[in-house]
């Protein structure tokens, strides 16, 4: 087994997490020294036999890395995610990722990319904000064909309550830091989702598309038994 010092002296990598909880360790890149990120990307590049997801890998950080490091991974700038390989496909469960607007795209695509990395099929439904209710109602039949729903919204986050009243599927809500004034930072969206009158909604931290995708994967694990 690879030891932490094979990667970087300041990284204690949890290689056994997948065996314990069914979800492998993910590298959160924000705040890490560039040399540490580079060492990890090299270690887990394509063909290395150990799939690892990198999140919050900002475009300016990625673009500053050597060219051979960049071509060694699949990088998605909007979601700020990268991987050298994904986990095997997991059949039997599909996830709908529903966002209120394209401004929520970074979080929505972080969730989508995480699901792809975990081998879970998903469909992206963007721009379903309830200010134009038809944008959601015209898609609700398709959304309800999925096994799990992730709802992503900023501002007043009304999408969570409305969608929560239209789907019987397990629903995971993610507030985003999108909006003007008091909505900016995501606290308004978070409080709205937490106080939703739609019962049974699981609410995640602000901008945490990754966390919602991991929760969907746990549910999918039960459905795929």
Per-residue pLDDT tens, the chain, 225 aa: give them: 445 445 666 666 667 676 787 777 889 999 988 988 999 999 888 887 788 999 999 999 999 999 999 999 999 999 999 999 899 888 888 999 999 999 999 999 999 999 999 999 999 999 998 888 999 999 999 999 999 999 999 998 999 999 999 999 999 999 999 988 888 789 999 999 999 999 999 999 999 999 999 999 999 877 665
Say how many CA atoms lie within 13 Å of 94 toward its Cβ.
Answer: 10
Please report the pLDDT score of residue 10 as a whole number: 65
Please report the pLDDT score of residue 4 as a whole number: 46
Cα–Cα dist 132/210, whole Å? 27
Entry pTM: 0.90
* Residue 94: CB atoms within 10 Å: 17
Q: List the domain boundaries for the chain.
A: 4-83, 94-223
The answer to whether the CB of 190 falls within 8 A of the CB of 178 is no
The answer to whether the CB of 69 falls within 8 A of the CB of 34 is no
Cα–Cα dist 112/124, whole Å? 7
Domain covering 94-223 assigned CATH 3.40.50.1970 in the classification: yes
| Complete DSSP assignment for 68-128 | HHHTTSEEETTTTEEES--PPP-TT-EEEEEES-GGGHHHHHHHHHHHHHTT-EEEEE---
- Token look-up 């879970």 returns 120
Cα–Cα dist 153/114, whole Å? 18
Tell me how many degrees the CA angle 207-186-140 measures, rounded to the nearest 5.
65
Please report the pLDDT score of residue 1 as a whole number: 45
- For the sheet containing 27-28, what is the strand order? 27-28, 53-55, 81-83, 74-76
């Amino acid at each position: 087994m690879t030891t932490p010092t094979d990667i970087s002296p300041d990284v204690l990598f949890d290689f056994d997490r997948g065996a314990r909880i069914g979800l492998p360790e993910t590298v959160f890149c924000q705040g890490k020294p560039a040399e540490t990120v580079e060492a990890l990307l090299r270690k887990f590049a394509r063909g290395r036999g150990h799939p690892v997801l990198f999140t919050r890998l900002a475009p300016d950080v990625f673009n500053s890395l050597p060219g051979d490091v960049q071509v060694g991974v699949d990088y998605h700038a909007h979601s700020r995610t990268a991987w050298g390989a994904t986990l095997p496909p997991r059949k039997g469960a599909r996830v709908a990722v529903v966002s209120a607007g394209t401004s929520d795209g970074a979080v929505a695509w972080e969730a989508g990319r995480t699901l792809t990395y975990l081998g879970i099929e998903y469909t992206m439904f963007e721009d379903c904000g309830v200010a134009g209710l038809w944008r959601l109602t015209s898609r609700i039949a398709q959304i309800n064909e999925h096994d799990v729903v992730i709802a992503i919204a900023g501002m007043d986050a009304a999408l969570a309550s409305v969608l929560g009243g239209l789907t019987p599927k397990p629903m995971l809500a993610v507030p985003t830091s999108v909006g003007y004034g008091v909505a900016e930072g995501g606290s308004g969206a978070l409080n709205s989702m937490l106080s939703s009158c739609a019962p049974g909604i699981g609410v995640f931290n602000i901008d945490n598309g990754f966390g919602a995708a991991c929760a969907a994967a746990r549910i999918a694990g039960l459905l795929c038994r």
